[in-house]
Amino acid sequence: MLTDQARGFLNNHRVARFATAEPGGQPHVVPICYVVSDNSVYFTIDEKPKQLRDKPLKRIRNLQINPHVALVVDRYEEDWTQLGWVMVQGEAALLDDGEEHTKAQRLLKARYPQLDEMEISDLPVIAVRIKCVVSWGNLGTAS
């Protein structure tokens, strides 16, 4: 499923694009900071301005209706022999609390120290259960 080479590529990059679909099929894509653990990719919902706190984010509303999601991590270089990407497809689960939620937030804080400054312990984590991995190009970690 997730090869060592694809896992290394994901671990070496910092931002993914996360895609859900609206009920009518319209794609919705947002950048995320993520961590890979076992056969899941995790990202947390971070602090939002007050005007956004009263309504669940579109990505959450979408995955509650349709849990089939995808994310892409890519590398662009002017030297096109260095181009590469990994796409993860799977089903998303919303974690509001519990052991897995706590573990995911701990891993995310270790990877992104910026999260230490945010109050995220009570915020949801999205877990993408990896079902399919597609990759292309140069997945080496050195450019």
DSSP 77-97: -SSGGG-EEEEEEEEEEEE-S
Percentage of residues in the chain with pLDDT exceeding 90? Answer: 81
The phi and psi torsions of 72 (rounded to 5 degrees) equal -130, 135
Which residue in 10, 127, 126 sits closest to 74, CA to CA? 10
Residue 41 pLDDT: 98
Taking a C-beta distance cutoff of 8 angstroms, is the pair 69, 63 a contact? yes
Q: Chain-wide mean pLDDT for the chain?
A: 92
Query: Measuring CA to CA, how many Å separate 17 from each of 30, 121, 135?
Result: 5, 23, 15
pLDDT tens profile 21-80: 999 999 999 999 999 999 999 999 876 554 445 677 899 999 999 999 999 999 999 999
Q: Are strands 125-137 and 35-37 parallel, antiparallel or unpaired?
A: unpaired
Percentage of residues in the chain with pLDDT exceeding 70? Answer: 92
| Lookup result for tokens 């662009």 | 76
| Lookup result for tokens 């997945």 | 139
| C-alpha–C-alpha distance, residues 48 and 77, integer Å | 32
**Across 21-25, 121-125, 138-142, least confident range:** 138-142
Q: What is the pTM of this model?
A: 0.92
Q: Is the pLDDT of residue 93 over 60?
A: yes
Q: Is the pLDDT of residue 122 over 90?
A: no
